[in-house]
Amino acid sequence: MTKEGEVAEQGSFSAKDYHDPPPAPLFDAVELTKWSFYRALIAEFIATLLFLYITVLTVIGYQHQINTSADDCAGVGILGIAWAFGGMIFVLVYCTAGISGGHINPAVTFGLFLARKVSLIRAVLYMVAQCLGAMAGVGLVKAFQKAYYNRYGGGANKLNDGYNIGVGLGAEIIGTFVLVYTVFSATDPKRSARDSHVPVLAPLPIGFAVFMVHLATIPITGTGINPARSLGAAVIYNDEKVWDDQWIFWVGPFVGAAIAAFYHQFILRAGAVKALGSFRSSSRV
């Protein structure tokens, strides 16, 4: 016999109880009175600072190596840069998920807000903390390596030569869709209950999503998919071309996050509810 509240899954294993968490309130002023909320803001700030510090250093180090070496294969290459971004997201999401949810990206926060996973107050202040953390992280890179920082473009995102605005915007929309869709899928409580016999470390697929998107879009835009990352580098580097293209790295990620939230919440999850109801009905016949 199964424990009370558990559903037998075709006799092979038992799934955990599943309760869909209630939607977050739109406005929750009570959050402002809790230390856990401010601790989460600090965690988002520090995580984004570390993310930008390590990744921008990697980009600048690669640029220095290819410009000072006769070897065309010098440096970590695009593959290494992609690993730096994906690996840091894996590490930082793993470290901060239990404190703030490990967003480290305004687009992820925006998508979760649209899905009613976080309140408006939390979403806005998370984005502020992330952007300030990004500026601080890039600022540290410039402080430690000012000559190289200015010489090699500051790790700033911009539309690369040979690509038009439509291609760059599309790359950011689709790339962010992949990331935010992965976040929803990896953290879906229904999936965790249904596949409880297959443990999944959520930060791992999220980090791999960032890695794969960077491989595809570094040649186009340098890969934004994170407005805080793009803004932090733009503020510290302060280049006209970077500022002209900055809107791409906000509009693209926010549109991609909105599409991912709609797709997961209103198409995939709605379809899952109908399928589960149909399965239960047929199993009782």
Q: Which domains does the chain have, with CATH numbers?
A: 31-267 (1.20.1080.10)
Q: Please give the pLDDT value at position 269.
A: 76
Helices and strands of the chain, counted as H and E runs: 12, 2
Buried b (16+ CB within 10 A) or exposed e, 9-34: eeeeeebeebeeeeebeeeeeebeee
CA distances from 177 to 112, 118, 188, 231 (A): 13, 19, 16, 19
Q: Could you report the per-residue pLDDT of 85-127, keeping only the tens digit for each?
A: 999 999 999 999 999 999 999 999 999 999 999 999 999 999 9
Q: Is the pLDDT score of 4 beyond 90?
A: no
Q: Please give the pLDDT value at position 27.
A: 84
Q: What is the three-class DSSP state of 7?
A: strand
Q: Is the pLDDT score of 196 beyond 50?
A: yes
CA 209/CA 225 separation, integer angstroms: 11
Q: Is the pLDDT score of 146 beyond 60?
A: yes
Q: Could you report the per-residue pLDDT of 30-84, keeping only the tens digit for each?
A: 888 899 999 999 999 999 999 999 999 999 988 888 887 766 666 788 999 999 9
How confident is the model over 148-164, as a mean pLDDT? 92
What are the percentages of helix, strand and coil residues in the chain, rounded to 5?
Answer: 70, 0, 25
Q: Please give the pLDDT value at position 122.
A: 95
Q: Which residues contact 204 (CB under 8 A, 6 or more apart)?
A: 90
Q: Is the pLDDT score of 185 beyond 60?
A: yes
Q: Please give the pLDDT value at position 177.
A: 98
Q: Output the six-digit token pair for 154.
A: 């500051």
Q: Output the six-digit token pair for 217.
A: 């879009």
Instruction: Calculate what percentage of the chain has a pLDDT beyond 70.
Output: 83
Q: Please give the pLDDT value at position 28.
A: 81
Tokens 């599409």 -> residue = 259
CA distances from 34 to 30, 41, 123, 128, 213 (A): 7, 12, 16, 18, 36
Tokens 């989460």 -> residue = 40
Residue 225 contacts residue 172 (beta carbons within 8 Å): yes
Per-residue pLDDT band for 147 (boundaries 50, 70, 90) equals confident
How confident is the model over 184-212, as a mean pLDDT? 80
Q: Could you report the per-residue pLDDT of 214-268, keeping only the tens digit for each?
A: 999 999 999 999 999 999 999 999 999 999 999 999 999 999 999 999 999 888 8
CA 185/CA 272 separation, integer angstroms: 13
Q: Please give the pLDDT value at position 275.
A: 47
Record the pTM.
0.85
